[in-house]
Amino acid sequence: MFAILTVIVLFMLVFSVFVLLPILLVLKAAQFLFERPLNEVVGAVNEVRDRHWRNADAVERERMVRKACGWRVIGRVVGAGALVAGASIAASSTIGFACCLAAWRMLKPIKQEMRDACAYRSTGAADEPRYSSGDGAF
């Protein structure tokens, strides 16, 4: 029994050194190479969004909020579809059920999110903060 346990522990150690360690090294190298440029791009996108928000009137702001909500809904539906597709090809019924449950949880907040976006009314004030949905995305 002890010999079997020793072989299992030794196999896990070899697996972690020869498989997991190179994967982690590649991920760390990618993070080192791409983190700063990616942060710059995200910062530039947020600056443009803020500038468009400041320069927009009330009607345009409301349209921006609805458009952003529409894109979030499309993203949620596509993600849920991918989960259901994964559930349909899953080897295990438990994994399939988990994928379907995750898809349902992705789709569940859409109705309230759309109501909030459609009920949003902008004041048009220059210092009005940018609208953000409950999940923090715009």
Alpha helices in 56-137 (DSSP H): 58-89, 93-107, 110-119
Q: What are phi and psi of 54, to 5 degrees?
A: -65, -35
Measure the CA–CA gap between 3 and 12, rounded to whole angstroms.
Answer: 14
What's the pTM? 0.68
For 5-20, what is the mean pLDDT?
82
pLDDT tens profile 13-29:
887 778 778 888 999 99
Q: Encoding tokens for residue 87?
A: 């559930």
The predicted pLDDT at position 39 comes to 96
Measure the CA–CA gap between 57 and 55, rounded to whole angstroms.
Answer: 7
Measure the CA–CA gap between 90 and 96, rounded to whole angstroms.
Answer: 6
Please indicate whether residue 1 or residue 122 has the higher confidence score (pLDDT): 122
Domain ranges of the chain: 1-55, 58-138
pLDDT tens profile 42-94:
999 999 999 999 999 999 999 999 999 999 999 999 999 999 998 888 778 88
